[in-house]
Chain A
């Protein structure tokens, strides 16, 4: 039986994708603002954040409306409940991009700091995780969601490596401390964006399987229950 509700759920998904699209654009611009040392792109990031915030408000309301008016069950319920949790993750990614963009504006007039290839890789890996987490949501692809969760380890490792590299640079030359400190905050924000992609992937697995995969250490193995 065709349901009017299905159209409403489709609209909700489209709105979430629109928000994810904006956030991905922010990520791309954020990365470029660092790589190309572009103030213009950093400014664009900061401006795009407002649109993402607006979409958060609209999506929150849409979810509350659907819960109240449709009293959904089963996969409909899981989709809406998870959307309510994915939306703030996307909004936080936007905030992290803004934070990085502000640091980029500070860093761009300064001399470049050669900290190796880490910054490029961090931006690319993190962007890829967010993109694939959103794709996993669209296609309800559990394999892709698992892959995203796994990739968080790579981003964490890159973050640790670059942090150490920046420490080395600072210890070697006190004149680099200001720039390196800004960069430490930049990479911390990338690391957090990757965490948010992981959280989105976990929500996707909840939509698919109906079981939370969060905090595996709290999950009692069936044999012990």
Chain B
């Protein structure tokens, strides 16, 4: 066989080597940010993405006298998800949290426009019964504030003021709530002792149990871990993870890592305005707004 014939045979069946990394077809446009990209779909907890909104805040404005504290807030919180509200002090996040159970009613000279809906009910509807509203919205504060009563009575308190007297009902609610807040095993043998004798972390979990006893739909938490050590903090954070199976949680926190760890969604506030909200993992890896970026990476605030 001559060399020429071989060449012909070779050309008819070209043994083209494949480059290890062949051409990549980019459209040339800079990467577009959409929530539809595969890399943007979170690896866990896709359930919260499909959930309906339980809380709907629409065009909410709040004034303390002449001073406006919240500006045109529009925010939705999905059922059984955790929403973190972050932002520098005075940004309006705690004010917004207090709007959700009408605690601002207790402050004089407050004027509110817009609407806040829990399910289908507008909580600022004049016809709404504030007491029954607050039963749907449990609240946990920055500083644990157990009543100077026994552990048992602390948890049973909400039911007692509702007029529940049946011992079996109270026992069941106390046990269920303390189990739910992860405190049962630590206190079941001393339910009659004062709640004030517990450690800071235990007191905070007692307050969570107290909020849970009335079986609210929403748990509002205002910096629930800011006075706790890291171990107690991580117990509360684990608890939040458990609680969101049954509750919708809105948490105000100054601790960005905490917001990143516990929440499905995060909303960033500045000077009474909602600057940016979105999936927590997106907000902390790729915020859209420069101000959010600067705040979460500690450049201002």
Majority secondary structure of chain A interface residues (helix, strand, loop or mixed): helix
A211-B15 in contact (CB<8A): no
In this complex, the member of B19, B25, B36 whose beta carbon has the largest number of chain A beta carbons within 10 angstroms is B19
Taken residue by residue from 57 to 83, chain A's Cβ proximity to chain B (1 for < 8 Å, 0 otherwise) reads as 000000000000001111111100000
Neighbouring B residues of A218 by C-beta, 8 Å: 38
CA A212 to CA B15, docked complex, whole Å? 34
What residues on A are CB-neighbors of B27 within 8 Å? 216
Contact pick for A74, options B16, B26, B33, B285, CB 8 Å: B285
B285 touches A149 (CB 8 A): no
In the assembled complex, B167 has its CB within 8 A of some CB on chain A: no
Q: Are A213 and B293 in contact (CB under 8 A)?
A: no
Closest Cβ of chain B to A176, distance in Å, is 13
Complex-state Cα separation, A216 to B29, whole angstroms: 12
Contacting pair B33 A171 (CB below 8 A) = no
Is the CB–CB distance between B40 and A211 below 8 Å? yes
The answer to whether A137 has its CB under 8 Å from any CB of chain B is no
Q: How far is the CB of B290 from chain A (nearest CB, A)?
A: 10
Interface size on A, residues (CB 8 A): 46
Q: Is the interface of B mostly helix, strand, loop or mixed?
A: loop
B28, B30, B31, B299: the one contacting A3 at CB < 8 Å is B299
Question: For the side of the interface on B, what is the size category?
Answer: 35 or more
* Docked pose: A175 CA to B276 CA in angstroms: 69
Of residues 22 through 79 on chain A, the ones whose CB sits less than 8 Å from some CB of chain B are 71-78
Q: What residues of chain A lie closer than 8 Å to B296, measured between beta carbons?
A: 73-74
Most chain-A Cβ atoms within 10 A of its Cβ — which of B6, B17, B292?
B17
Chain B hits for A74, CB < 8 A? 284-287, 292-293, 296-297
Residues of B with Cβ closer than 8 Å to A?
A: 3, 6-7, 10, 14-17, 19-28, 30-40, 256-257, 260, 284-287, 292-293, 296-300
